[in-house]
Amino acid sequence: MRFVVLLHQDEQVWRDASPTQREEYYRRHDAFAQVTSRTGCTILAGEALAGVETATTVRRRGEQVSVTEGPFAETAEQLGGFYLVEAPHLDAVIEASRELPEYTVEIRPAIDVA
């Protein structure tokens, strides 16, 4: 199965992080990668995203298209990055996600659209 791992965090936490704290973030992402390979998973893709202030939201309603500045929803924690993982099952993804920094991680299976 393919799973999308969505990483949410208050962006201020990263902005305020010291160099040592940022080192710890990188170390934890490495650990995530190590555990995924150990538990039979493959990371197919993964990106860290620029802050929500760079987001652009496009909405189509019928023929009306609006382009606005900002994310689609204002929330305390924002989507800051994601992984796309091929994994045998949910537990393997949960196991790897335990290694990640203090995010709120949402795991969603991807479906095959015929």
**Binding residues vs other proteins (CB under 8 A):** 1, 3, 87-91, 93-95, 107, 109, 111, 114
d(CA 68, CA 107): 28
d(CA 75, CA 19): 26
- Give the residue with the Cβ less far from other proteins, 70 or 109: 109
Residue 16 CB, shortest distance to other proteins, in Å, is 32
Residue 18 CB, shortest distance to other proteins, in Å, is 32
State the Rg of the chain over Cα: 16
- Give the residue with the Cβ less far from other proteins, 59 or 89: 89
d(CA 79, CA 81): 6
- Give the residue with the Cβ less far from other proteins, 51 or 88: 88
Residue 89 CB, shortest distance to other proteins, in Å, is 4
Residues in the chain: 114
- How do strand 104-109 and strand 78-86 relate by DSSP bridges? unpaired
